[in-house]
């Protein structure tokens, strides 16, 4: 093994999230160098390229901290200045990165979650904001259970379970399917984004599994199914995105992070729609408003907004002092969903 393959580099990557048009969106790179890299990986047999998160190699001489390096990379690659940032996880599985699969060094990626309200009018350059649900079509339950779950995912996972020759393993696989996708006695848990993606990957159903050699079925029907299960991403960036999405949904319930996605002033309906967009479930309007107001999360500005097609609505703003008043100043939105 050569010296290059034995070396390790640290990559910093950001899942920068905003909400627009009632959809959670994240920042993806689309500059020419990325497209050239995608084409190279396809030529060498990696049949999946896809979008990539803003990222770059940490330089200990140039970057005093990891976060400083991250903010610099995102601004250089997209023109977007990050606001709220928190570290997610370090991703370091062997073979996870195309550079290593091509015989290069091993890449450890330190992932970050960043939130933006887009109220400053920042428009990305060489990048764009893409809907999370384009990559995870099974995660949006605002209109009820997505068709792709009952029509594609559940039958495919049941077939995968039957492929095991061990009856205990078959039941274990079925139990994971029920728990992840709200089957039978189980309920839908919106926080299990990563668990669902990893189950689909392990079963060889998503495009990245086919690229990495985990998807053993290379038939035309398997390829069509992979296309129905969302857009792929470079390397393991969809796994990183799933980690961020699950973290954000969880954190909504005990920290006031949703206000990082809001303009300085907003209506309660705008706040509710933002929470629903991120969590992927509808919440009861009156219960939501009582929860927000009783917890002291917001205060009225005194202004009233005239809304097109509706009655005037009071304008509110976030009360930052609430973090010192409550142990868990979040918005609990868990709304169990079951298949009928």
CA distances from 89 to 74, 134, 173, 239 (A): 18, 23, 26, 11
With both helix axes pointing from N to C terminus, report the angle between 237-251 and 268-279 in degrees, rounded to the nearest 10.
140
Distance CA 151, CA 274 (A): 28
At residue 44, the pLDDT reads 42
> In this predicted model, what pLDDT tens digit does every residue of 142-154 receive, in sequence order?
999 999 999 999 9
- Helix (H), strand (E) at residue 26: strand 23-29
At residue 42, the pLDDT reads 44
- In this prediction, what percent of the chain has a pLDDT beyond 70? 85
Q: What is the DSSP string of 250-297?
A: HHTTTS-GGGGGS-SEE-HHHHHHHHHHHHSS---HHHHHHHHHHTT-
- 210 three-state secondary structure: helix
> Is the predicted pLDDT of residue 100 greater than 90, yes or no?
no
- Structural domains of the chain sorted by starting position, each given as residue range(s) with its CATH number in brackets: 3-132 (3.90.79.10), 137-228 (no CATH), 252-324 (1.10.10.10)
* Across 92-106, 223-237, 287-301, least confident range: 92-106
> Is the predicted pLDDT of residue 50 greater than 50, yes or no?
yes
- How many other C-beta atoms lie within 10 A of the C-beta of residue 38? 18
At residue 122, the pLDDT reads 63
> In this predicted model, what pLDDT tens digit does every residue of 126-143 receive, in sequence order?
788 999 999 999 999 999
> Is the predicted pLDDT of residue 272 greater than 90, yes or no?
yes
> Is the predicted pLDDT of residue 229 greater than 90, yes or no?
yes
- For the chain, the average pLDDT equals 85
> In this predicted model, what pLDDT tens digit does every residue of 7-36 receive, in sequence order?
888 999 999 999 998 999 999 986 444 444
At residue 309, the pLDDT reads 64
At residue 334, the pLDDT reads 52
- 244 three-state secondary structure: helix
> Alpha helix locations (H) across 11-130?
32-43, 66-78, 98-101
At residue 26, the pLDDT reads 95
- Whole-prediction pTM: 0.87
- 136 three-state secondary structure: coil
* Across 101-105, 180-184, 246-250, least confident range: 101-105
Residues 274 and 142: beta-carbon distance below 8 Å: no
């Amino acid at each position: 093994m050569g010296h290059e393959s034995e070396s390790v580099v640290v990559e910093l990557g950001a899942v920068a999230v905003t909400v627009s048009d009632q959809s959670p969106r994240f920042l993806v790179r689309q500059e020419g160098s990325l497209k050239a890299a995608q084409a190279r990986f396809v030529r060498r047999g990696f049949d999946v390229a896809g979008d990539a998160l803003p990222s770059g190699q940490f330089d200990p001489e140039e970057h005093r901290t990891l976060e400083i390096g991250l903010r610099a990379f995102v601004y250089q690659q997209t023109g977007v200045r990050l606001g709220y940032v928190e570290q997610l996880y370090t991703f370091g599985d062997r073979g996870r990165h195309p550079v290593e699969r091509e015989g290069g060094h091993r890449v450890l990626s330190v992932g970050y979650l960043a939130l933006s309200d887009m109220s400053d009018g920042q428009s990305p350059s060489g990048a764009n904001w893409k809907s999370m649900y384009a990559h995870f079509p099974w995660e949006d339950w605002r209109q009820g259970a997505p068709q792709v779950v009952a029509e594609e995912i559940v039958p495919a996972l049941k077939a995968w379970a039957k492929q095991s020759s061990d009856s205990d393993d078959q039941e274990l696989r079925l139990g994971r399917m029920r728990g992840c996708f709200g089957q039978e006695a189980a309920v839908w848990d919106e926080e299990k984004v990563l668990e669902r993606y990893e189950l689909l990957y392990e079963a060889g159903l998503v495009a990245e599994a086919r690229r990495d050699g985990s998807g053993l079925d290379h038939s035309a029907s398997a390829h069509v199914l992979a296309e129905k299960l969302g857009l792929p991403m470079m390397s393991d960036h969809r796994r990183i995105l799933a980690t961020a999405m699950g973290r954000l949904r969880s954190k909504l319930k005990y920290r006031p992070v949703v206000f990082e996605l809001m303009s300085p002033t907003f209506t309660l309906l705008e706040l509710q729609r933002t929470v629903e967009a991120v969590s992927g479930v509808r919440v009861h309007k009156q219960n939501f408003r009582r929860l927000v107001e009783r917890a002291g999360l917001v205060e009225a500005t005194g202004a009233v907004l005239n809304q097109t097609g509706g009655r005037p609505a009071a304008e509110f703003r976030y009360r930052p002092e609430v973090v010192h008043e409550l142990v868990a100043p979040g918005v609990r939105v868990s709304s169990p969903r079951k298949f009928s």
